[in-house]
Structure 1
């Protein structure tokens, strides 16, 4: 199984961080690979909501990266499953109060199947880049007025 995780402390409340993450339309603000995103179905930020994403892929082409929110616990945890595209990891954001701010842990897991098993190290590296973007999330959220 491919796995990647990262953690960062953000000087915002857990509810503020959660609200930002749960609104998938914010993905373009902190994840450079996301080119477009739209709410495809469900209620924004709630379990069952599906977001349609177009992402930068290899060689400059775009790939689908649609995902569904699989668990939503405001101020605590947000889980998702990628449902379109070449790789379909599961992920979670876990939030913990930390001295007036919030510690955010972002994890991604993928069980490669078929030919993807041969690309394990490349998949892990891509996932590490993705979770590494928590620093950008921190910058965006801390620049916003509370």
Structure 2
């Protein structure tokens, strides 16, 4: 399994950050430009990555003001799980976004860089959107 992680402190309450992340409708705002045809409901989202692969995601667990766990569904090219972890730190929130993926052999080398960039992009986009 390969793990990609990005962390940031956001100057917003843990409840504000959690409420944003708990609704998949908001996640489209965090995606990089190579994500196309984003569609979402409260619990599920689907999108294309540069006209190459269609991915579907589902929020599998919400732990109020602590975590949002997401799993790739509907036959992804390899197993992927996303985890948003939130820790209140006074009036700000420490956010960690982790991507756990299980790409095989050569695929691991091809996707490692893009998955780390995705983790970094989503965290920095979240901070930019929620800056007060």
**TM-score, with normalisation over the residues of structure 2?**
0.87
Residue 9 of structure 2: SS of its match in structure 1? strand
> Pairwise mapping of residues 39-118 of structure 1 onto structure 2 (< 5 A)?
39=41, 44=42, 49=43, 51-57=44-50, 61-84=51-74, 85-112=76-103, 116-118=104-106
Distance change >3 Å, CA 111–CA 56, structure 1 → 2: closer
Contact in 2 for aligned 1:27/1:34 (Cα 8 Å)? no
- Alignment of 1:142 onto 2:128: no
Aligned twin of 1:120: 108
| Higher fraction of strand | 2
Contact in 2 for aligned 1:2/1:123 (Cα 8 Å)? no
User: CA separation in 2, counterparts of 1:27 and 1:127?
Assistant: 16
Contact in 2 for aligned 1:67/1:80 (Cα 8 Å)? yes
Residue 62 of structure 2: SS of its match in structure 1? strand
Gaps of 5+ in 2: none
Contact in 2 for aligned 1:12/1:100 (Cα 8 Å)? yes
Residue 132 of structure 1: SS of its match in structure 2? helix
Q: Number of residues paired by the alignment?
A: 128
User: CA separation in 2, counterparts of 1:52 and 1:96?
Assistant: 25
Aligned twin of 1:22: 22
Aligned twin of 1:8: 8
Contact in 2 for aligned 1:27/1:37 (Cα 8 Å)? no
**TM-score, with normalisation over the residues of structure 1?**
0.79
Once the 2 structures are TM-superposed, how far is the Cα of residue 30 of structure 1 from its aligned partner? 1.8
Residue 82 of structure 1: SS of its match in structure 2? strand
User: CA separation in 2, counterparts of 1:100 and 1:9?
Assistant: 10
Once the 2 structures are TM-superposed, how far is the Cα of residue 62 of structure 1 from its aligned partner? 5.0
